[in-house]
């Protein structure tokens, strides 16, 4: 049913919970231009977008998961430990295949994060063109740590990430 209401080009759903959210340090990723380097023998490359995207809604994980802030850079991590933590709040985007690939590279999939399909319950629609009813459950890709040190489970679990409230994020 979701495929019927999403634009054909941007039919991948992704749930973001940390620095990629609106007003967070890496939100600029969505609209940044990158240099493609050009093709061999050409006069240089072009600036291009990572891909197509639309912010659809705010939502929260159906399963409880631990969201922690760790490392010297204060990075938010969603730990793949269903049942622990909170119903984590974040944003739902629809993206094209190119943007999905760019996100996978940005999140260092599969070396660091794993891309896991999660059920997300819509809490607020943010898109006039693509209406998602509050309470609707959608399946979204999300970036989670699966191979993490047990000490991370001893950290404070957050329901929502807000860089203005948690220890400040620093770029790596």
Catalytic residue positions? 107
Q: Which residue reads 């119903």 in tokens?
A: 87
Helix (H) or strand (E) holding 103: helix 97-106
Q: How far is CA 52 from the centre of its chain?
A: 14
C-alpha span between 17 and 59 (Å, rounded): 9
DSSP 12-32: EEEEE-STTSTTSTTGGGGG-
Give the residue from 106, 102, 101, 137 showing the smallest Cα distance to 120.
Answer: 137
Place of tokens 């001893």: 154
Residues 83 and 63 sit within 8 Å (Cβ to Cβ): yes
User: According to DSSP H, which parts of the chain are helical?
Assistant: 2-5, 97-106
């Amino acid at each position: 049913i979701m495929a019927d209401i999403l634009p054909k080009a941007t039919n991948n759903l992704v749930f973001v919970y940390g620095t990629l959210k609106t007003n967070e340090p890496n939100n600029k990723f969505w609209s940044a231009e990158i240099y493609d380097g050009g093709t061999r023998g050409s006069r240089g490359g072009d600036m291009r977008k990572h891909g197509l995207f639309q912010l659809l809604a705010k939502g929260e994980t159906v399963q409880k998961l631990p969201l922690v802030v760790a490392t010297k850079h204060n990075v938010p991590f969603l730990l793949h430990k269903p049942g622990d933590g909170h119903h984590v709040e974040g944003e739902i985007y629809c993206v094209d295949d190119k943007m999905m690939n760019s996100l996978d590279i940005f999140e260092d999939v599969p070396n660091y994060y794993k891309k896991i399909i999660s059920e997300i319950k819509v809490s607020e629609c943010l898109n006039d063109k693509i209406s998602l009813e509050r309470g609707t459950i959608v399946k979204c890709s999300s970036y989670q740590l699966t191979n993490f040190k047990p000490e991370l489970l001893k950290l404070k679990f957050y329901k929502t990430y807000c860089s203005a409230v948690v220890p400040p994020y620093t770029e790596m």
